[in-house]
Amino acid sequence: MATMSGQVWVALISLGGVVLGGLLSYLVQHRTQVSAERAEQQRQQIGVSEARRAERLALLERFVEVGAEAERSAFRGLPNGESVRDYLEDDRLAFLDAARAVMG
**pLDDT mean by block of 10 residues, the chain; 104 residues:** 78 94 96 96 96 92 84 71 70 79 76
CA 71 – CA 77 distance, rounded (Å): 10
Q: What is the DSSP letter of 58?
A: H
Among candidate residues 69, 47, 49, 46, the one with its CA nearest the CA of residue 57? 49
Report how many domains make up the chain: 1
What confidence score (pLDDT) does residue 51 get? 94
Determine contact, residues 72/91, Cβ cutoff 8 Å: no
Q: Taking the model in full, what pTM does it have? A: 0.48
